[in-house]
Structure 1
Amino acid sequence: MFELKPMLSALWRNKISALLIAVQLALTLAIVSNATVIVQDRLEKMARPTGIAVSDIISVTFMPVPVNYDMAGAVAADLELLRNMPGVVDATVTNQIPLSGSGSASTYFTEPNQEIGGENANYYQTDEHFIDTLGLNLVAGRNFTRADFDVIGPNDTYEPRVAIITQKFADVMFPGEDAVGKYFYSGGDGEPREIIGVVERHLGAWPSWSKAGQVAFYPLLVTGNHKRYLIRTEPGQRDTVYKQIEEKLAERDPQRVIHLDTLSKRMAQSYISDNVMVKVLSAVMTLLTFIVALGIIGLTIFWINQRNKQIGVRRALGATRANISRYFLVENTLIAGAGLAIGMAAAQVINHFMVNQFSQPVLSIPTLLVCALILLGVSVTAALVPAIRAANISPAMATRSV
């Protein structure tokens, strides 16, 4: 037997210090378990497939200097130049850069002139090269053709006739149905947009948005004071092509300001806050666990120093080193078990509050149990060294003053 009655009696005599360790473990479990689900949620979000050949894509933004600039002519000439460059797979024009944190969105409906009950989606104005340029997977319908493409001025009123949407947006708008051939509408108007194709995945402009992945694409160029291109290169050729693009574009038309970036860098910038949160919470969890371990080590050493004589007497009466070590380990496990039981209840209460107030992920029972077992393991491990030290106390030294 583990001599539970003497243990409980000893813990009662030292109830304040035992209670402090139990409370510390409870608070640590409540914080660590909720931090764990947040870290898991952020890591899963950052690991999601984008549907885009991110590592091979370069983005270009340019702004012309002349006031009366032929934007449509410049776009056509630039894209022809870019597509013919060595190492380039394809190039497209777009109103916004994917995964950049900057974009446009609207509310869409399945019935004309509807104004409530719609679904939000990010949208892009692009051309028939966008699927090949982004490396998207067309799972239904067809791509845009040049006949679908329109060019309008920045102040013109225009409603797209056709669209390609993502599978996620299709599932939201037409659950359980084939979206190709169906129509959807912008809020407050009766102009139909026919869905001619569905791509498997595209996260859109805002990866952290709750509607990320709900995207629509229109075959349209709106002339204005700036324009953006996306250039997809052959694998391993991105950096080589990157060095040449600005020079080639400036050589073709020097009367503009050009800015280049990689889509990988754009995506990393969009995930900065998630990365920071993961690092901060990981550091907090590590620090709290370390502090708990130090507290357990300190308390166990303190109790051992108080019980030198009792340990010596037990050794003299035949108690083995294993008996002594086991005594302190079981005593520590009792404290840890009580603290973790309280911590599991506290963790659920805190998580319920965070889910309701901040839309944080729900803490699952398996995750909570894993965190509790890890802290129990840390607790037992922290008490192990002092327990072994207690087992090595000599009966003669411990009873010298008896």
Structure 2
Amino acid sequence: MLELKPMLSALWRNKISAMLIALQLALTLAIVSNASVIVQDRIEKMARPTGMPVEDLIAVTFQPIAQDYDMHGAVVADLDLLRSIPGVVDATHTNQIPVSGSGSASVFHSQPNQEIGGEVSNYYETGPHFMQTLGMNLVAGRNFTPADMRVVQPNEDARTQVAIITRQMADALYPDGDALGKSFYNSNGTDPVEIIGIVERHLGAWVSWSKAGNVIFFPRLQENNFKRYMVRAEPGRRDEVLKAVEKQLAERDPQRVMHIETLSERLERSYMSDNVMVKVLSAVVTLLTFIVALGIVGLTVFWINQRRKQIGVRRALGATRANISRYFLVENSLIAVTGLALGMAGAQIANHFMVSSYSQPALSLPVLLVCALILVSVSLVAALVPALRAANISPATATRSV
């Protein structure tokens, strides 16, 4: 039968080393659990659906060299050309590239002349072809028609009478009812904009924005000094289409500067910091766990070397190899449980500070328990090999000087 009293007595005699391992486990649990929550949050964030077939989309930005450039005529000609290219599903103009980190936003209200409150939304200026080009799912209402379109000069009032919004934005503006057919207003505005359609989702311009998914689409084309297009290729033909787009746009009008890239590249750059954080925190978690395991192995080996005579005496008195191994495993478990109990409290305190100060995700009890269980398992595995070696100590060798 296993005696806890001799174990506790032995731990008390070696309390400094036992305390250091316990504190190391506590600190590791506090760091690992909070890092795991952040990693999980970033992975879920990067896995969010964008509402678009990102792998098939190409973004084009151009700026004309001439000062008196016919932007409207160029857009019409360019889009007709793009839609005629083999492998192109559709193409549309847009004021900003989705998931690029660059975009436009404003505050919108469900009532006129509101000066406080409202919902902030990313917005796009596009046309009837945007739905098919961006591969979005219209869940209610209708798409834009050519009659809805407005072509405006740089200094002209750019307001439109209709708009299409995401379901997330619809729920934000009208949480108690169907937004379709209702109106919203610009900040301090009096002219209503009717919601004629609702799309299932669109992530918008800023993937790290707390309101990503609040998006409004307006049917207009502003004749400014640059323009952007989105081109959707057939699945598997994106790279082929990209080369054709670049070649044919340059041939149609060489008097402009163009930049063409895939939307996948844009999205990857937008998530670059999240990817780096996941990799760094994963490496930190792995390294800390490995260091804890080394510390437990070292401490267990040290104690075994100190107690060779005692082990030999116990073996000579009839203790089995299983008894000896179990002794050191249970002794290690006592240290691990003490350290992890302290670590759970420390993890909660650290997480509360991170949530309040840095808006990090909250640490849930299941995640904390899983991390603690993993560290207990690591500590037991780390102590297992030295414990098995202790069980193989010969009674004659250990008691030779007794």
Shift of 1:401: 1.3
Shift of 1:186: 0.8
Whether 1:6 and 2:6 are equivalent positions in the alignment is yes
Report the Cα distance in structure 2 between the residues aligned to 1:16 and 1:187, rounded to whole angstroms: 65
Q: Hey, what does 1:122 align to over in structure 2?
A: 122
3-state DSSP of counterpart to 2:50? coil
Whether 1:321 and 2:321 are equivalent positions in the alignment is yes
- Report the residue type matching 1:84 in the other structure: S
Shift of 1:158: 2.4
Report the Cα distance in structure 2 between the residues aligned to 1:238 and 1:176, rounded to whole angstroms: 42
Q: Hey, what does 2:62 align to over in structure 1?
A: 62
3-state DSSP of counterpart to 2:294? helix
- Report the residue type matching 2:152 in the other structure: I
Contact in 2 for aligned 1:160/1:193 (Cα 8 Å): yes
Shift of 1:155: 1.4
- Report the residue type matching 1:113 in the other structure: N
3-state DSSP of counterpart to 2:164? strand
Whether 1:387 and 2:391 are equivalent positions in the alignment is no
Unaligned stretches of 5+ residues in structure 2? none
Whether 1:82 and 2:50 are equivalent positions in the alignment is no
TM-score using structure 2 length: 0.99
Report the Cα distance in structure 2 between the residues aligned to 1:2 and 1:177, rounded to whole angstroms: 67
Report the Cα distance in structure 2 between the residues aligned to 1:191 and 1:280, rounded to whole angstroms: 50
Unaligned stretches of 5+ residues in structure 1? none
- Report the residue type matching 2:393 in the other structure: I
Could you give the per-residue CA deviations for residues 61-105 of structure 1, whole angstroms, max 9, x where no partner exists? 001000000000000000000001100000000000000000000
Contact in 2 for aligned 1:162/1:219 (Cα 8 Å): yes
3-state DSSP of counterpart to 1:190? coil
Report the Cα distance in structure 2 between the residues aligned to 1:39 and 1:209, rounded to whole angstroms: 18
Whether 1:38 and 2:23 are equivalent positions in the alignment is no
Whether 1:159 and 2:152 are equivalent positions in the alignment is no
Report the Cα distance in structure 2 between the residues aligned to 1:338 and 1:219, rounded to whole angstroms: 64
Report the Cα distance in structure 1 between the residues aligned to 2:92 and 2:179, rounded to whole angstroms: 25
Q: What are the equivalent positions in structure 2 for 1:188-267 lying under 5 Å apart? A: 188-267=188-267
Shift of 1:2: 2.1
Shift of 1:43: 0.2
Shift of 1:160: 1.4
- Report the residue type matching 1:152 in the other structure: V
Report the Cα distance in structure 1 between the residues aligned to 2:337 and 2:158, rounded to whole angstroms: 67
3-state DSSP of counterpart to 2:259? strand
TM-score using structure 1 length: 0.99
- The number of equivalent residue pairs is 402
Report the Cα distance in structure 1 between the residues aligned to 2:63 and 2:246, rounded to whole angstroms: 13
Report the Cα distance in structure 1 between the residues aligned to 2:129 and 2:2, rounded to whole angstroms: 74
Which portions of structure 1, spanning 4 or more consecutive aligned residues, are displaced by more than 6 angstroms? none
- Report the residue type matching 2:94 in the other structure: T
3-state DSSP of counterpart to 1:351? helix
- Report the residue type matching 1:14 in the other structure: N
Shift of 1:209: 0.4
Could you give the per-residue CA deviations for residues 31-74 of structure 1, whole angstroms, max 9, x where no partner exists? 10000000000000000111101000000000100000000000
Could you give the per-residue CA deviations for residues 155-208 of structure 1, whole angstroms, max 9, x where no partner exists? 112211100000000011101311110000111111111000000000000011
Report the Cα distance in structure 1 between the residues aligned to 2:325 and 2:222, rounded to whole angstroms: 77
Contact in 1 for aligned 2:90/2:233 (Cα 8 Å): yes
- Report the residue type matching 2:4 in the other structure: L
3-state DSSP of counterpart to 1:61? strand
Report the Cα distance in structure 1 between the residues aligned to 2:158 and 2:58, rounded to whole angstroms: 29
Contact in 1 for aligned 2:101/2:206 (Cα 8 Å): yes
Report the Cα distance in structure 2 between the residues aligned to 1:13 and 1:293, rounded to whole angstroms: 22
3-state DSSP of counterpart to 2:275? helix
3-state DSSP of counterpart to 2:228? strand
Report the Cα distance in structure 1 between the residues aligned to 2:158 and 2:210, rounded to whole angstroms: 29
Report the Cα distance in structure 2 between the residues aligned to 1:401 and 1:245, rounded to whole angstroms: 88
3-state DSSP of counterpart to 2:268? helix
Q: Hey, what does 1:286 align to over in structure 2?
A: 286
Q: CA RMSD in A?
A: 0.6
% identical equivalent positions: 72
- Report the residue type matching 1:162 in the other structure: V
Q: Hey, what does 1:298 align to over in structure 2?
A: 298
Report the Cα distance in structure 2 between the residues aligned to 1:254 and 1:12, rounded to whole angstroms: 83
Q: Hey, what does 1:138 align to over in structure 2?
A: 138
Report the Cα distance in structure 2 between the residues aligned to 1:356 and 1:220, rounded to whole angstroms: 42
Report the Cα distance in structure 1 between the residues aligned to 2:329 and 2:188, rounded to whole angstroms: 70
Contact in 1 for aligned 2:85/2:244 (Cα 8 Å): no
